[in-house]
Structure 1
Amino acid sequence: MKLIVTEKPDVAKNIAKVLNINRKHDGWMEGNGYYLTWCVGHLVEMAQTNDYNAEYKKWKMSDLPITPENWVYKVSHSKEKQYKIVKMLMLDPKVDRLICATDAGREGELIFRLVYHHVKCDKPFDRLWISSMVEKSIKKGFDDLKDSKSKDLLYLAALCRAQADWLVGINGSRLFSLLYGGKLNVGRVQTPTLAIIVNREIQIKNFIKEKYYINHIDLEGLEAFGEKIKNEAQADIIFNATNGQDATIISVDNSIESVKAPDLYDLTTLQRDGNKYFGLTAAETLDATQQLYEKRLATYPRTDSQFITEDMKDSVNELLPLSSQFLGASLNHTPDISILINDKKVSDHHAILPTTEIKNVNTNCLSRNEQLVLNLIINRLILATAPRHQYSKTIVNADCSGYTFQAKGKTVVALGWKEYDSKFKKRMNITEKKKDEIVFPDIKSGQIFNSVTASISEHETSPPKRHNEDTLLSVMETAGNEFIEEGGEKKGIGTTATRASIIEKLISAEYIIRDKRQFIPTESGMSLIAAVPESIKSPKLTAEWENRLREIEAGKLTKSTFDEMIKLYIIGMVDENKVANESLSGKFKTHSKERESVGNCPRCGNPVYEGEKNFYCSNRECQFVLWKDNRFFSEKKKKITRKIAEDFLRDGKSKVTGLYSVKKDTKYDAVIIMVDTGGKYVNFKLLF
């Protein structure tokens, strides 16, 4: 008998359907020679500090640095039932081999291995490594199971990353909280992200507007421009020298330019477009894509690749007519699949693609966010295979009284991929800023324009804009890349899988607020960045760690060497920052004293507080959160109010009136039960 262990119940259901595993039990399934169960995220997690020493419950400077010699792991309090089921099956004498079917990546590997080791299971296991939940992909994955040893180094890298993050978070948070008298959350990835937002705010506050002037001359309807000039008197001199004088064309340069179609989506570019076009947060886009993956409508979402492999050529060809049919568009070109292929740029997972299941989907069964994201994914596949956009570019240089003026213009030669993009944006009600084409008269080099009319326009410099989800993700993707060693892969701050949660944690901690689509740092956020040392708020640390983690994955660095490096860093951080900056003392909020809690966390028992977008646990080591505008409630045209949250935390359920039924187009009342499986998102179900 073989035991398959997945990361989530929905993935288990898809595998069960393909392998004909049809006998259901509480928390597991069996059939066709298999047992099948799931982890619901991290069943086993890193222990909290007081699990090492009860004295650590009280934060004291004398305890720092906290650097465990032997790491302790424990079963997540809210997931004990499922852990016992997985343990029972792993140790079942009938089971002689396991199959790890958690998500194919660092974190998925860690989720399975922690349980496997905690159970003290020593049975051999294989690794399922797939990027899609469609039947064909699952079958192929089971036909080509990987040897578990091939992922040993990936697991070690994941373990190193988790332990190092724990050390920085625990020691950094305690150190700076004790120094400044407030509860401060410090993290290797979180703090540099906050620094990006804070630094932009400082640039805005310190910005001083400056006027500048541009001289113009009119070449019989064609406007030519001079250079920017800061001195108004100089602009007047040029005006007086050119107004009414003759202008001679120095040169006319014509060229045909082209713009390549955008690449396929990785998660970050999908999140950026989700925000740019529909105002979705990074977390909302990730959640929608994960749901599409579990519904077998899209491939694995947490990918940082924008390409496919050579062996996928035929399957992608099959997707194109289905994609055009889904969008109600016709393909006016012969798709070029070759431009999508780059085996060297596909590591764990290929780019995000739709699946052939889109031909059967009833979009009314999808949430609004799922529909928007699915449309983006499908449209991007069509765009990526379309011809280049071509335009003619004309640059005219003219001389008037010894001063040079220039006119530029573009004329579309072939719309190419932009034809499909424009139609898609019109269909999705996405407004575009269109630039008017400049029609150039027949101008030749040496041509003279008599008595031209001159003018001056006055302008002001603009401050930089605050970051939104789109621009912040872009900066996070490249931050610290200058510190990546030659030949190393440049990934920026965090990973495609974690950037959304980093942003949401900053909001929950009230270091930033999301004002419409902009991020604004709070006073606490500004003060935290002023307080912490450069090594913590710079992306350099993340880049250096990524360099070392990749060396571990490649077998070039041992875990013990990495551990010693991190330990020395933590000791240095504590020793070098034991004296507070007096000017910052008292500037940090202590939320637990200032605010009334909504209730106690069902996972760890700590107070839960209300944030702008959610109700969150005050314990930084706990991930419990209730999102006010979540998919379950938004589909019923409701949000989680403070009263509903209080009911959930007190009784585990709440009676809600005026719920909307999409199918019947009516409203109804029902009791909603909170189902907390301990994962990233809390689930709900109706009781009539």
Structure 2
Amino acid sequence: MKVCIAEKPSVAKDIAEIIGAKQRKDGYYEGGGYQVTWTFGHLCTLKEPNDYLEKWKYWNLRDLPMIPSRFGIKLINDEGVKKQFHVIKRLVQNCEEVINCGDAGQEGELIQRWVLHKAQCKVPVKRLWISSLTEEAILEGFNKLKDANDFNRLYAAGSSRAIGDWLLGMNATRLFTLKYGSGKGVLSIGRVQTPTLAMIVNRQKEIEAFVPEDYWEVKTVYRETEFSSNLGKLKQQEKADEAVASIKELPFEIVSFEVKEGKESSPRLFDLTALQVECNKKFGFSADDTLKMIQNLYEKKLVTYPRVDTTYLSDDIYPKIPGIMKGLTHLSALTAPLLEKPIKKTKQIFDNKKVTDHHAIIPTGVAPGGITPDEQKVYMTVAKRFIAAFYPDCIVSNTTVLGQVGEIEFKATGKQILSQGWRVVYEGEKADEKDEKDKIMPTFEEGESGPHEPVIIQRQTSPPKPYTEATLLRAMETAGRQIDDEELREMLKDNGIGRPSTRANIIETLFRRKYIERKRKTIFATETGVQVIETISNDLLKSPELTGDWEKKLRLIEKGEYDSEIFKKELVDMVVDLTNEILFPEQFKMQKAIREMGDVDCPKCKEGKIIKGRKAYGCSAYKSGCNFRVPFEQDGKEIGQEELEKMIADKVW
């Protein structure tokens, strides 16, 4: 008998139906040589501190940091969980082979591995790895089952992530709560949660500290077209008045009129973050709402696996594109022109190097039915983006007009759509803000001139915009950097904060802890959230860039390019340093100094290292009796490491 373990009951039912296990039992299906059972999310979790040591049950600074010699897992304390686990354990211990049918991602792999480990699985394990839940995909997956060991790196990354979150979350939360909480409640600290909150708080402080400044721009209107001067933003109105006075009586002359034809490529296919951003902008859906709805659409076989971070398809999907298009009968008016000729294959869509475990989110071609109105909106967003990707480029005419009045140069730009291309898919929908600003220009001739109407426009500098969920997701994806270019953003994804599948939960956690709140579409930090960030003195915990570096290492572990044990050691060292920095600041500074100057041996005792003390460089073995000292300054200048090494070599001490 072969035992299949799915990630939830509904998926188990679909798999059981397809492979012939149609007899319903208590906690599983059976038939055709298979038993199909299921988990429902996490059945197991990492042990809590008190599961390792009794004293760790109590919050006490002297017991920090808590670093288990070996991490263990346990069942979640829930009767339903325990009952289902015992079903799985009994089936696993009496079968010839296990087929891991869990969610095909890092989290799904972790859930299944922990359950199989806890169930003491001793039989061979295969892996079902599919990108959609259609009958065709499931049957194809069972015909091409993979060896479970092929996914050991994926599990290593998931396990490292969980252990890293435990180490930092458990220790830092207790450390800062006990040291700085002053009875105000728990200060929850997290590896991803805290830098995300710090981004929101920092943006809020920038907005609050912002002082608007007036500025003036000189423009002029010639032939009903507004031109902007090259004077830019003038900080004094007098200069704007002088400029206008100098050109008011002079004619406006066209210096150049240039029309260039350009192409606008279709938007990229969706990864999860891009879909959450789009649905937040268009419909106001939260990241968590979009994730739940796209997951439902996946389980209803309407879209492919959604928890992805690539916007590309693999080459093996290309032959399936016409079939998917034909299945979109409700959008046949849009797909018909594409199906009249061979579907285009471009590097913007198909690139095996940009696809690891799963490709971008696309429809499966199954006709939608039985979905909510909001799910319909998400589905149509995915389907239209998929169709638009295969349409021709939008052809535009970009116009640039340069003019001059006296000594002042002017410029105007405009755009005209010559061939809509992929924009046909979105006809009737509200245009992007950027598109609304574009304007069609009249035709000008070089050398023509005539009267114009100069104007002075007074404006104020604007504060930074508060985050919306859309802009916050983008900031998390790029570790806090403002990136608009899609290709550059794609390159920075490995350094993002969190994973696409976890970012929505991080944001929801901050809402739940009342660290942030919504005001219409914008997100603001609450007073509690601001206090948490102000309390945390350690920049490492608040740094999006450094957290992004950890995320990169986790992805490298997944690719087999970084050792998970080294990553865990780095996290342990970080937690130890963090604890010492907060509890023993003076000793920590000394230890840090030892590390900074740690490559210079003491020339006197040959045992210690040269470190920076309060008044001089000295030997770290001073407690053992070594009294070696070198003054900080020589000839009025502070001695650096090179000078120190030279002094020791020359025996100037």
- TM-score category, normalised to shorter length: 0.7 to 0.9
Distance (Å, rounded) in 1 between the aligned partners of 2:128 and 2:335: 37
Tell me the equivalent position of 2:632.
none
Distance 1:355 1:531 in 2: 49
Cα distance in structure 2, aligned partners of 1:557 and 1:471:
31
Matched, 1:239 2:247: no
**Residue among 520, 525, 538 paired with 2:529:** 525
> What corresponds to 1:10 in structure 2?
10
Tell me how far 1:197 sits from its aligned partner.
0.8
Q: Does 1:294 align with 2:302?
A: no
Higher-Rg structure is: 2
Task: Output the CA distance in 1 between the equivalents of 2:561 and 2:455.
Answer: 66
1:225 pairs with 2:234: no
1:127 equivalent in alignment to 2:127: yes
Q: Which residue of 1 aligns with 2:590?
A: none
Q: Which amino acid aligns with 2:39?
A: C
Which residue of structure 2 aligns with residue 216 of structure 1? 219
- Residue 193 (structure 1) aligned with residue 208 (structure 2): no
* 1:473 matched residue in structure 2: 473
- The yes-or-no answer on 1:407 pairing with 2:412 is yes
Match of 2:503 among 487, 491, 499: 499
Distance across 2 between alignment mates of 1:477 and 1:415: 31
Give how far 1:367 is off: 1.9
What TM-score results when the alignment is normalised by the length of structure 2?
Answer: 0.83
Secondary structure of the 1:435 match is helix
Match of 1:398 among 379, 403, 420: 403
Alignment CA distance shift 1:9-1:197 (3 Å): same
**Aligned with 1:577: secondary structure?**
helix
One-letter amino acid matched to 1:526: V
Kindly tell me: are residues 516 and 562 of structure 1, through their superposed partners in 2, closer, same or farther at Cα, counting changes over 3 Å? same
Matches within 5 A, 1:21-420: 21-78=21-78, 79-92=81-94, 95-181=95-181, 182-226=185-229, 227-323=232-328, 325-326=330-331, 329=334, 331-333=336-338, 335-338=343-346, 339-358=348-367, 361-362=368-369, 365-420=370-425
Closer, same or farther: CA 208–101 of 1 in aligned 2, 3 Å: same
1:255-279, CA deviations, whole angstroms, 9 ceiling, x for partnerless residues?
A: 1122110111111111111111111
Instruction: Supply the distance in 1 between the matched residues of 2:523 and 2:12 (Cα, whole angstroms).
Output: 38
Q: Which digits, 9 at most, give the CA deviation of each residue in 1:480-508, with x for residues without a partner?
A: 689x9x99862411011000000000000
Determine helix, strand or coil for the equivalent of 2:382: helix
Contact preservation (8 Å) 1:480, 1:543: no
How big is the alpha-carbon RMSD for the aligned residues of Structure 1 and Structure 2? 2.2
Q: Which amino acid aligns with 1:523?
A: E
The superposition leaves residues 489-542 of structure 1 with CA deviations (integer Å, 9 ceiling, x where unpaired) of: 624110110000000000000100122211110111111112221101112332
**Shift, 1:397, TM fit:** 1.2
Amino acid at match of 2:514: E
Question: What is the CA-CA distance between 1:184 and the residue it aligns to?
Answer: 0.8
- Could you state the TM-score of these two structures normalised by the residue count of structure 1? 0.79
Counterpart of 2:221, as a letter, is D
Deviation of 1:452 (Å) = 2.9
The answer (yes or no) to whether the contact 1:320–1:381 under 8 Å persists in 2 is: no
CA shift for structure 1 position 145: 0.8
Correspondence 1:516 to 2:520: yes
Counterparts of 1:64 and 1:241, CA distance in 2:
73
> In structure 2, what is the equivalent of residue 566 of structure 1?
571
Alpha-carbon distance, 1:10 to partner: 1.4
Contact 2:270 2:311 in 1 (8 A): yes
Distance 2:87 2:177 in 1: 40
- Tell me which residue corresponds to 1:632: none
Q: Residue 415 of structure 2 contacts residue 439 of structure 2 at CA under 8 Å; is this kept in 1? A: yes
**Shift in CA distance, 459/432, structure 1 to aligned 2, threshold 3 Å:** closer
> C-alpha distance in 2, partners of 1:220/1:72?
76
Cα pair distance change 1:491/1:9, threshold 3 Å: farther
For 2:533, give the aligned amino acid: I
- Gap change, CA 1:44 and 1:439, over 3 Å in 2: closer
2:617 maps to what in 1?
A: none
- Pick closer, same or farther for the CA change 1:553–1:175 going to 2, 3 Å: same
The separation in 2 between residues aligned to 1:431 and 1:397, in whole angstroms, is: 26
Letter aligned with residue 503 of structure 1:
I
Q: What is the CA–CA distance in structure 2 between the aligned matches of 1:134 and 1:172, rounded to whole Å?
A: 44
Structure 1: segments with no counterpart, 5+ residues: 581-688
State the partner residue of 2:651.
none
* Residues 604-648 of structure 1, C-alpha deviations (whole Å, 9 max, x = no match): xxxxxxxxxxxxxxxxxxxxxxxxxxxxxxxxxxxxxxxxxxxxx
Aligned length: 567
Q: 2:546 matched to which residue of 1?
A: 541
Q: Is the 8 A contact 2:98 2:123 kept in 1?
A: yes
Structure 2 residue corresponding to 1:576, chosen from 574, 581, 585: 581
Structure-1 residue corresponding to 2:641:
none
Shift of 1:574: 0.7
Kindly indicate whether the alpha-carbon contact (under 8 Å) linking 2:193 and 2:510 is maintained by their aligned counterparts in 1: yes
Report if aligned partners of 1:157, 1:552 keep a CA contact under 8 Å in 2: yes
Once the two structures are TM-superposed, the CA of residue 436 in structure 1 deviates from its matched residue by: 6.7
CA drift of 1:217 comes to: 2.1
SS of the equivalent of 1:208 reads coil
Distance, in Å, in 2 between the alignment partners of 1:431 and 1:220 is: 27
Share of identical aligned residues, percent?
37
> Which residue of 2 is the match for residue 684 of structure 1?
none
- Any idea what the Cα deviations from partners look like across 1:147-186, whole Å, max 9, x if unmatched? 1111112211211111111000000100111122231110
CA distance in 2: counterparts of 1:371 and 1:327, whole angstroms: 17
Q: Which residue of 2 aligns with 1:448?
A: 449
Distance in 1 (alpha carbons) for counterparts of 2:93 and 2:35:
12
Unaligned runs of 5+ in 2: 483-487, 586-653
Q: Structure 2 CA distance, aligned partners of 1:307 and 1:169?
A: 34
Which residue in the other structure is 1:459 paired with? 459
| Distance of 2:282 and 2:463 partners within structure 1 | 24
Q: 1:285 to 1:560 in 2, by over 3 A?
A: same
Change in Cα spacing, 1:103 to 1:481, as seen in structure 2 (3 Å) is farther
**Contact kept? 1:179, 1:579, Cα under 8 Å:** no
Tell me: CA distance 1:354–1:438, structure 2 relative to 1, closer, same or farther (3 Å): closer
CA distance in 1, matches of 2:492, 2:510: 29
What amino acid does structure 2 have at the position aligned with 1:278? Answer: F
**2:560 corresponds to which of 555, 561, 585:** 555
Q: CA–CA distance in 1 between the matches of 2:584 and 2:528?
A: 19
CA deviation digits over 1:203-261, x for unaligned, max 9? 11011111111112222322211122222111001010011212222222221122110
Change (3 A) 1:490 1:529: same
CA distance in 2, matches of 1:262, 1:290: 22
Q: Secondary structure of 1:354's partner? A: coil
- Contact 1:244–1:454 at 8 Å: present in 2 too? no
Per the alignment, do residues 453 and 127 of structure 1 end up closer, same or farther by CA in structure 2, a change over 3 Å counting? same
Q: Which amino acid aligns with 2:106?
A: R
- Greater Cα shift, 79-88 or 314-323: 314-323
SS at match of 2:99: strand
Q: Contact 2:64–2:175 at 8 Å: present in 1 too?
A: yes
Counterpart Cα distance in 1 of 2:71 and 2:265: 50
- Find the counterpart in structure 1 of residue 613 from structure 2: none
Supply the AA of the counterpart residue of 2:116. Y
Q: How far apart in 1 are the matches of 2:207 and 2:437?
A: 31
